[in-house]
Amino acid sequence: MIATHPHSRSVLITGASSGIGAASAHRLAAEGWRVFACARRAEKLERLAEQEGIIPLVCDVTDADQVRAVLDEVSEAGGIDTLINVAGGALGTESVAEAEPEDWRWMFEANVMGTLNTLQAFLPMLRAHGHGTVLNVTSTAGTVAYEGGSGYNAAKFAQHGVTGALRLEEAEHNVRVLEVLPGMVHTEEFSAKRMRGDAAAAAAVYRGVEDPLSADDVAEVIAHAVSLPHHINLDQITVRPVAQAAHHKVIRTG
C-alpha cells in the first residue's frame, strides 16, 4: 500500500499514452495525485483522461518548443512538484556494424534529448517548489551492454549518465533525483516497435518467460518511490522479473 501524502501532489508524466507511462498515470491519479499526462498521441491521451485527476497534454518531448508550451499550460494550472520521464524506446536489434544511423538518432532524440528538454523546462519550477522530485525511467540496458542492443544501450547509458549528473547538481536545490531501471517488461508496444511491427519477433522476446514484468508492476515501484517522504532518495531501483537473473540469464520454459 502506498502511503497517502499529506498534501496535494502534482506530477507531469511523459510517454503517458501507453505502457509504463500510462500505468503510472492511472496509479498516481488513483492515489489522489493531479497528473499531467504528456504524449504525442491525442486519441490515447483522451481515453487516459477519462480517469478523474488526469489532464492530457499533447506534446512531442523531442521538440523543445512544444515542451515550453506545456510548461506554460502547467504553470497556469498551478505547477507540479514531480516530473517523471518515461518517454523513450528502442528501434532495431542490428549489430554496430549493420546499424542504421537514423535509428540511433531516433533513439537518442526520444530517450536523451526528450529527457533534456523536459528537465531544462521544469527544473526552475521544481527548484522553486522547494521539495521537487525528478524520476527518470531508464533501463538495465543503460548499465549492461548486450549483443543487438548497441543503439539502445548507447541511448540508455547516456540517459543513465544524465540522471547521475543531475542528482549531484540538484541536491543543493533540494530536488531529489530517482532512477528506475526496468529489465524485461511485457508491454503492448515496446518490442513491437523495436521489431518494426513484426508481431512474431516481438512475441519471441517473452516466449517461455514465466511472469515477465507488466507496466503495472513498474508503475507500482514508481508510485512508491515518489510517494516516500522527500528526504528519502531511492537513487537507483533495478526491477526485473525473477526469471531474468541477468541480461545473459533468462529462464525460459517449454
Length of the chain: 254
* Beta-bridge mates of residue 57: 38
pLDDT digits (tens, 9 = 90+) for 1-46: 233 344 479 999 999 999 999 999 999 999 999 999 999 999 999 9
**pTM (2 decimals)?**
0.94
pLDDT digits (tens, 9 = 90+) for 86-142: 999 999 999 999 999 999 999 999 999 999 999 999 999 999 999 999 999 999 999
Half-sphere exposure of 111 (CA within 13 A, CB side): 27
Which among 119, 106, 224 has a CA at the least distance from the CA of 175? 119
Q: What is the mean pLDDT of the chain?
A: 94
- Is residue 146 flagged as an active site residue? no
Instruction: Please identify which of the residues 152, 163, 166, 185 carries the catalytic annotation.
Output: 152
Task: Show Cβ contacts of residue 10 under 8 Å, excluding neighbours closer than 6 positions.
Answer: 33, 34, 35, 36, 78, 79, 80, 81, 82
Amino acid at 38: C
Question: By the 8 A CB rule, do 197 and 189 touch?
Answer: no
- What 3-state class would DSSP assign to 54? strand
Please compute the mean of the pLDDT values over residues 220-238 and round it to a whole number. Answer: 98
Q: How confident is the model at residue 197 (pLDDT cuts 50, 70, 90)?
A: confident
- Architecture of domain 10-250 in this structure: 3-Layer(aba) Sandwich (3.40)
Question: By the 8 A CB rule, do 178 and 134 touch?
Answer: yes
